[in-house]
Amino acid sequence: MALEGRVVFTYSIANFCTLRCLEQIRNDACYHGADVKIVSIGGGFSYGPLGISHHATEDLAIMRSLPDLTVVSPCGKWETREATEALVDMAGTCFLRLDKSFGDDGPIDDKEQFHLGRAHLLRKGGDVSIFVTGGILEEVIKAAESLADDGISAQIISVHTLKPLDTEMILGVCQETPAMVTVEEHTIYGGLGSAIVETLMDNGCFPRSFLRIGLEAGFSSIVGSQKYLRQQYGLDAAAISRRIKQLPG
């Protein structure tokens, strides 16, 4: 259908619309530049009670490795709405990762417009910059409020587009704030944190402190609600703020 000029949307639970048909995405869609928009619901621990088969914690790493594929992971309702409309108008194969949870991702400036490939500043701060993707933004906002109570000014940046990545924003933040942190409901291997580290190293930019927060080892074999699993794996607001406070300097 896409090769005949239509814009095609596919839709399923995160692991099913990516891992089960990865060969088709790679060979039939990306390779031909087909207008196929792969909509993934249930990113991260959204389907937590159903276990590892439904935990989407490697999808960003896998999808961003495919050539000619745009990878989008909104943090909330505003970005989801804007991203969906933008993907309709964008040529080529795209991956849209949605989440059960969401944070307040509305623009701080009423005149701000959404752009694929351009990170979205949600909160200004000078001590630490937190880059986040997906609905775990809600935990990051709470963590930033907790840090503020302790006199730590945290900047929050939504990276709703992991590919192409906003290199300009990342390098600018590296020069402006002493500490950089990435938060994702996903493995730290190959996801948001890896993408930002690659960008910094490729451009010779070295922050004073850098921390990746996400799943660090093994499978997420615990079963429970999204909130419960975030607590168990150190991805809730309390754990995020605690780890940031432990950064040197």
pLDDT value at 108 more than 90: no
Q: Classify residue 145: in a domain, yes or no.
A: yes
Which of residues 97, 112, 144 is at a domain's end? 97
- Is residue 208 domain-shared with residue 152, that is, in the same domain? yes
Q: What are phi and psi of 220, to 5 degrees?
A: -85, 80
CATH code for the domain of 180: 3.40.50.920
Q: Classify residue 136: in a domain, yes or no.
A: yes
Q: What are phi and psi of 137, to 5 degrees?
A: -50, -35
pLDDT value at 107 more than 90: no
Which of residues 97, 128, 148 is at a domain's end? 97
How far apart are alpha carbons 237 and 221 in whole angstroms?
Answer: 21
Residue 120's pLDDT band (cuts 50, 70, 90): very high
Dihedral-angle region of residue 122 (phi above 0 means left; psi in -120 to 50 means alpha; beta otherwise): alpha
CATH code for the domain of 59: 3.40.50.970
Domain count, the chain: 2
What percent of the chain clears pLDDT 90, i.e. is strictly above it? 96
Exposed, middle or buried, 147 (CB in 10 Å: 0-12/13-18/19+)? buried
Question: pLDDT for 202-242, tens place per residue?
Answer: 999 999 999 999 999 889 999 999 999 999 999 999 999 99
The parent domain of residue 7 ranges over: 2-97
* Strands 93-97, 128-133: pairing kind: unpaired
Residue 112's pLDDT band (cuts 50, 70, 90): confident
Instruction: Read off the tokens for 155.
Output: 């900047």
**What pLDDT is attached to residue 223?**
96
* Strands 69-72, 161-163: pairing kind: antiparallel
DSSP 186: E
- Is residue 54 domain-shared with residue 158, that is, in the same domain? no
Question: pLDDT for 144-203, tens place per residue?
Answer: 999 999 999 999 999 999 999 999 999 999 999 999 999 999 999 999 999 999 999 999
**What pLDDT is attached to residue 133?**
98
- Is residue 89 domain-shared with residue 170, that is, in the same domain? no
- Is residue 141 domain-shared with residue 219, that is, in the same domain? yes
Q: Classify residue 112: in a domain, yes or no.
A: no
HSE-up (13 A, CA, CB side) for residue 131: 32
- Is residue 63 domain-shared with residue 138, that is, in the same domain? no
Cβ 97 vs Cβ 59: under 8 Å: yes
- Is residue 125 domain-shared with residue 215, that is, in the same domain? yes
- Is residue 240 domain-shared with residue 124, that is, in the same domain? yes
**What pLDDT is attached to residue 73?**
98
**What pLDDT is attached to residue 183?**
98
- Is residue 229 domain-shared with residue 129, that is, in the same domain? yes
Instruction: Read off the tokens for 8.
Output: 């095609």
How far apart are alpha carbons 213 and 233 in whole angstroms?
Answer: 10
Q: Classify residue 124: in a domain, yes or no.
A: yes
Q: Classify residue 104: in a domain, yes or no.
A: no
- Taking residue 78's Cβ as centre, other Cβ atoms within 10 Å add up to 19
| Higher pLDDT among residues 97 and 218, named by residue | 97
Question: pLDDT for 45-96, tens place per residue?
Answer: 999 999 999 999 999 999 999 999 999 999 999 999 999 999 999 999 999 9
Question: pLDDT for 193-203, tens place per residue?
Answer: 999 999 999 99
How far apart are alpha carbons 196 and 182 in whole angstroms?
Answer: 8
Q: Classify residue 231: in a domain, yes or no.
A: yes
Mean pLDDT of the chain: 96
**What pLDDT is attached to residue 185?**
98
How far apart are alpha carbons 77 and 239 in whole angstroms?
Answer: 25
- Is residue 64 domain-shared with residue 156, that is, in the same domain? no
Cβ 75 vs Cβ 51: under 8 Å: no
Q: Classify residue 235: in a domain, yes or no.
A: yes
- Is residue 228 domain-shared with residue 141, that is, in the same domain? yes
- Taking residue 161's Cβ as centre, other Cβ atoms within 10 Å add up to 25
pLDDT value at 249 more than 80: no
**What pLDDT is attached to residue 78?**
97
- Is residue 133 domain-shared with residue 239, that is, in the same domain? yes
- CA geometry: angle 119, 121, 122, nearest 5 deg: 130
Helix, strand or coil, per DSSP, at residue 128? strand
**What pLDDT is attached to residue 109?**
82
If you average pLDDT over residues 113-141, what whole number do you get?
97
Which of residues 82, 97, 112 is at a domain's end? 97
- Is residue 159 domain-shared with residue 238, that is, in the same domain? yes
What percent of the chain clears pLDDT 70, i.e. is strictly above it? 100
How far apart are alpha carbons 28 and 244 in whole angstroms?
Answer: 43
Q: Where are the beta strands (DSSP E) in the chain?
A: 8-13, 36-41, 69-72, 93-97, 120-123, 128-133, 154-158, 161-163, 179-187, 209-215
Q: Classify residue 65: in a domain, yes or no.
A: yes
Q: What are phi and psi of 197, to 5 degrees?
A: -60, -45
